[in-house]
Structure 1
Amino acid sequence: MSVVVWITEGTWPSCVDAARVHAPQDTEIVLLHVGDQEVPGVAHGAFAGLLGRGHRRGPQAAQGWGSDPGNRVEELADTAGRQLLAAAADRLARACTRVERTGRIEREVVAAADGAELLVLARDGHRSRPGPHSLGPASRYVVDHAPCPVLLIWPDELPVRTAPGPD
Structure 2
Amino acid sequence: MTVLVWIDEGTWRASVDAARAHVRAGDAITLLHVTGDDVAEAAHGAFVGLLGRGHAERDPGDRVAALSASAAAALLDAAAERLGRPAERLRAHGRVEREVVRAAEDADLLICARDGDRRPGPRSLGPATRFVVDHASCPVLLVWPGAPPGIDTPPPHPSSP
Q: Compute the TM-score of the two structures, normalised by the length of structure 1.
A: 0.89
8 Å Cα contact 2:120-2:153 kept in structure 1: no
Q: Deviations over 1:27-59 (max 9, x none)?
A: 00000000110000000000011125x4227xx
Match of 2:129 in 1: 139
> Which of 158, 161, 167 is the aligned partner of 2:148?
158
Shift, 1:158, TM fit: 1.1
Match of 2:69 in 1: 78
Q: Compute the TM-score of the two structures, normalised by the length of structure 2.
A: 0.93
Match of 2:96 in 1: 105
4+ residue segments displaced more than 3 Å: 163-167
Q: Deviations over 1:118-148 (max 9, x none)?
A: 0000000111x11000100000000000010
CA RMSD of aligned residues (A): 1.5
> Which of 108, 113, 117 is the aligned partner of 1:117?
108
Match of 1:62 in 2: none
Match of 1:69 in 2: 60
Partner amino acid, structure 1, of 2:16: V
Q: How many residues align?
A: 157
SS of 2:68's equivalent in the other structure is helix
Match of 1:55 in 2: 54
Match of 2:45 in 1: 45
> What is the distance in 2 between the residues matched to 1:97 and 1:163?
38
SS of 1:35's equivalent in the other structure is strand
Unpaired stretches in structure 1, ≥5 consecutive residues: 58-65
* Percent identity of equivalent pairs: 55
Structure with max Cα Rg = 1
> Which of 82, 89, 103 is the aligned partner of 1:91?
82
Unpaired stretches in structure 2, ≥5 consecutive residues: none
